[in-house]
Structure formats: C-alpha cells, structure tokens
Amino acid sequence: MLGLQRETSSMYKRTSSRDYSPMVDVEDSSGLLLENEVNKEMETTNPSWKCSLPHVLVATISSFLFGYHLGVVNEPLESISSDLGFSGDTLAEGLVVSVCLGGAFIGSLFSGGVADGFGRRRAFQLCALPMILGAFVSGLSNSLAVMLLGRFLVGTGMGLGPPVAALYVTEVSPAFVRGTYGSFIQIATCLGLMAALFIGIPVHNITGWWRVCFWLSTIPAALLALGMFLCAESPQWLFKQGKIAEAEAEFERLLGESHVKTAMAELYKLDLDKTDEPDVVSLSELLYGRHSRVVFIGSTLFALQQLSGINAVFYFSSTVFKSAGVPSDLGNIFVGVSNLLGSVIAMVLMDKVGRKLLLLWSFIGMAVAMALQVGATSSYLPHFSALCLSVGGTLAFVLTFALGAGPVPGLLLPEIFPSRIRAKAMAFCMSVHWVINFFVGLLFLRLLEQLGPRLLYSMFSTFCLMAVMFVKRNVIETKGKTLQEIEISLLAKP
C-alpha cells in the first residue's frame, strides 16, 4: 500500500504541460503505451546535430581550461622560481606543478553534489569562479605561498570541470553524434595544452611574461561563465527535479520539437521502473548497491588509464627528445600534435566503430608502443636505432592513447551510469583518477631510478594488456543508443 501511494505521488509530481501516454492511470495500459512511444523513435529521423552543437562547444571551454592549466607552468617555471626566490629548489618547483592535483582531487569530490544540487549549468559557472580567482592570485603572487594558493584554487576548478563536462555533453547530445561530441572534450584539452605551450614561448625574452600567461586564462573562464547563461540545462536533471515543462522546453531546444515526445516518454518509463529507489545516493550504494558493478567498471577504467603510464610519458618526453638532439620546445610540439591528431581521428571514428573497439585497439597500440620503449633500452641496438625506437615509441604511445584510452572513459561512463547516480558516480571515478595520477607523478622518477626504464616500461605495457582483457570482458557497446535505452538494457541484466 505504501509503495502504491509512493508511485502515485511520484506520478503526480511528474505532471507535464503536454499530454503523454505514459501518464495513463491504468498500469498495464501505461506500460504498453510507453513501449509504443519508445519504439516510435526507430521510425523517426535523427534530430539535427546543429541544435545541440553550440551548447556542447561552450561546455568544452572547461576542458580547454583544464588542458591550459595543466601546461601553463611548464615553460615559465624557471622564470617563476627565479622571480619568487625559490630557484633551484626542486621540491618547491614540484609543488607549483603538482599542487593543482590536490585541488583537483578536492574539486572532483564535490563535483557530483554540485552538479546534482545546482544543475549542470550552474556547476560550470562555479567551476569557472576558482579558475578566474586562482589565475589572478597566481599572476599577482610575490611569494611561493601565494603562488601555491592560486594554483590550488585553479585546481579545484580543474577537478570540478571534467566530470561536469562529461555529464553535460552526454546528456545534451543526440545519440547518433554523442561519441563525436564527447571527443570534443579531449580535443579541447589538447588545444588548451598547446595554447599554454605557445603562449609560454616569450617567457624567456619578456620579463614577467609568466604573469600574463596566468591572466590570459581568465578570458576563456569568463566566457564559460557567461556563455552558460545562454545554454540549455540538462533535461535529465530538470526531470529529476520535477521540472517537467522546463525539461520539455530544453529537449525542444536541443533536439527539435518533433523529438520531444519520444525523449520524454523514455524518461517517464525509467521513472516508473525506479519508484522504489531513494532520492539520496550514498557512497555505500555506489560501492555495494545494485549499480556497484558499473561503478567498479568506471573506476577501474580510469585507474588503468593512469597506470598505463601516459603521464609518465608526458613527464619524460622532454628527456627522450633531448637525448635525440631535438629541442624540448620542438619535442613538446610533436607530442601535442600527436595527441591532437589521435583525438581528431577518435572523433571521426567514435560513432562509426564504437567505444569498445576504440578502447581495445587503443590499449593494444599503447602496449606495443611501450614495447618499443623497452626495446630502445637494449644494449644490442645501435645508438641511432635506439633513439628512433624511443622517439617513435613515445609519439606512437601518445597517438594511440588519444585514439581511445584518453577520450572514451570520460564519454562511456556517463553513458552507462543510471541517471539517478550519474553525477555522484562520475565524481567517485574522477577521484580515483586523480589519486592514481598523483601517485604516478610522485613515484615515477624514483621508480625509474630504482627499477630502470626497461622494467618500468614493461610494467606499463603489462597494465595496458590487462586493460585490454578488462575491456573485452566488462565494457558494453553504447554506440547509437539513447541514454534511456542504455539504462533500460542495464536494468534488465541480473
């Protein structure tokens, strides 16, 4: 009786400004009509991709800022340490680079609550605020402590932005281009890294230019905050809040009027299937509840992404290129171009070959590239051949990473997470990402000294092969399916 009252209450809350067949009071009839409404989608044409594109592009500004702040201190670090009085202090220099990771971890922990509590648009604006403030503080700093404060503030925005961007792009994109739009996140990150590299070039010739490098980042951050006033809110989030008329209006903006009824019918079907679930998502539910398996898959994918050695390759690439006689600036450009090229190829293939196949071939390619790095350490190879293998392995690793292991997890996880836990589950998985990222960065050089490059790169290659087996056994294909279809298929599994 209590369950019937709760269902009736839930259905009353979901009243709409339009007439939807799922709202019929007779349970059997509502189920039949719901199925009819969902099946009609197969008979309609795809919605126009042009409607949702501007909203996605504004959202990916957060990814551009993420990439920019990851790379903004690489070139100016020497000038920063000299001007702020800690030149030669490797610990202080390391803190300037890595304190963002601590802030990002904190930001990622709160990203789920912020996205669910305030909505996706407001979450983007809250992400931009510490980035603007932190960039100003960093640019004005006259001591190490102030610089670290600014970098930490920026890091909180960096931690908040990626999971919200993944959520938003997944929820506002039509199914047939969702993979392509999801790849925009990785491309924007690459462009941010490259922008930081090019903007940092004059730092050795212009005194105090490093301050300008920080201040310039406030422009895209302000554009993100202001642009979100013009963007659509996630219809899924509005529906969860009981704002049905607003959800309909946003679906109309994103998909076109002819697709609103089908989209809303799918949301109603999911709502009827989940009336017995609590509104609040706890950590214990993520770890031990009915959806714990998809949370395990998501967190493991992010862990394997970092354990593959991608950040170690980025950290060590300058040394590899220097040993080959290539200037570090030019080497960084090669790495950036490889990363961007792989991301563009992934964008083209994502909605054609699917997420799972891209992940498989990406991790296989990364394992082979790491094997080339191992081969380059052989004492039996001529010096020139070893250098070619080392440089080629580095660029091949970055390229194959960008093909799948880089962009796919951030797109796939919001697709397979049910709407009720999507934001909290993404926050949990991104927290795992940042923890593993931190320890890889912290321990890489020490492990390199103690184990040597051959054994360390062999370990990275092994993790890539483990990722291949994990993806093959656990990851489902989501290409071309609506979020509601994916969720229904997962709910149907035992």
| Helix 260-273, helix 483-492: angle, nearest 10 | 30
- Residue 114 backbone class (left: φ over 0; alpha: ψ -120 to 50; beta: rest): alpha
Distance between CA 219 and CA 233 in Å, rounded? Answer: 23
Percent of the chain residues past pLDDT 90, beyond the cut: 40
Residue 5 has pLDDT above 50, yes or no: no
**Interior CA angle at 73 toward 68 and 74, to 5°?**
95
Confidence at 151, pLDDT banded by 50, 70, 90 = very high
pLDDT level of residue 482 (50, 70, 90 thresholds): confident
Query: Mean pLDDT across the stretch 339-359?
Result: 91
Beta carbons within 10 angstroms of residue 52's beta carbon: 23
pLDDT confidence band for 43 (50 / 70 / 90):
very low
Does the pLDDT value for residue 28 go beyond 50?
no
Mean pLDDT of the chain: 83
Ranges 19-33, 124-138, 359-373: which has the least confidence: 19-33
Average of per-residue pLDDT across 428-438: 87
In the 8-state DSSP scheme, what is residue 482?
-
pLDDT band at 277 (very low <50, low <70, confident <90, very high): low
Whether the pLDDT of residue 42 is over 50: the answer is no
Give the burial class of 54: count Cβ atoms within 10 A of its Cβ; 0-12 exposed, 13-18 middle, 19 or more buried. Answer: middle
pLDDT at 437: 82
When pLDDT is averaged across residues 105-134 and rounded to a whole number, the result is 93
SS3 (DSSP) at 119: coil
> CA–CA distance from 483 to each of 199, 216, 219, 340, 449 (Å)?
39, 37, 34, 28, 47
The closest of 118, 103, 102, 220 to 167, measured between CA atoms, is 118
Q: Considering only CA atoms, which of 436, 409, 458, 360 is closest in space to residue 101?
A: 436
Question: How high is the pLDDT of residue 481?
Answer: 82
pLDDT band at 147 (very low <50, low <70, confident <90, very high): very high
Q: For residue 492, what pLDDT band results from cuts at 50, 70 and 90?
A: low
What mean pLDDT comes out for the span 487-491? 71
With CA atoms as reference, report the closest residue to 428 among 215, 277, 279, 282.
282
Residue 177 predicted with pLDDT over 70: yes
Tokens standing for residue 309: 């050695």
- What is the Cα Rg of the chain in Å? 24
Which pLDDT does position 493 carry in this prediction?
A: 56
**Average pLDDT of 394-398?**
91
